[in-house]
């Protein structure tokens, strides 16, 4: 089952510092998920000054429960980076078949 995750960082003065502190761990986990086929695509959301303020991911998990289990270990969650997370079921379109498992 595929999911669209849009997550926004906190807006306090330490938000970017928290993101950068755990970013390597987040990227390492993302690389493993790409290799396993559970992360299809991801981007950083930028503000008008090109600062990272959130993330957008297209994920593929067998169930929402398994996605929620991943969120419990995702460094941007455990590190207090993402303040607001929205998850919606989605389906990657046929034009993007190369990114689907």
Show the domains of the chain with their CATH numbers. 2-99 (3.30.70.1060)
How far apart, in whole angstroms, are the C-alpha atoms of residue 24 and residue 17? 13
Cα–Cα distance for residue pair 84/34, rounded to 1 Å: 23
Cα(4)–Cα(86) distance, integer angstroms: 8
* Pairing of β 39-46 and β 2-9: unpaired
- pLDDT at residue number 53: 96
The Cα 83–Cα 19 span in angstroms is 11
Check residues 96 and 70 and name the one with the higher pLDDT.
70
Res 56: pLDDT: 98
Of 8, 12, 14, the closest CA to residue 53 belongs to: 8
pLDDT tens column, 4-57:
999 999 999 999 999 999 999 999 999 999 999 999 999 999 999 999 999 999
Angle formed at CA 94 by CA 85 and CA 8, multiple of 5 degrees = 15
Retrieve residue 64's tokens. 């929402």
């Amino acid at each position: 089952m595929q999911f669209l995750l849009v997550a926004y960082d906190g807006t306090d003065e330490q938000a970017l510092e928290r993101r950068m502190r755990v970013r390597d761990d987040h990227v390492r986990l993302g690389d493993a998920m790409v290799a396993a086929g559970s992360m299809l695509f991801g981007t950083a959301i930028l503000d008008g000054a090109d600062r990272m303020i959130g993330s957008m991911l297209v994920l593929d998990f067998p169930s929402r429960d398994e996605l929620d289990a991943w969120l419990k270990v995702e460094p941007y969650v455990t590190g207090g980076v993402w303040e607001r997370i929205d998850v919606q079921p989605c389906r990657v379109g046929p034009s993007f078949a190369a990114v689907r498992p």
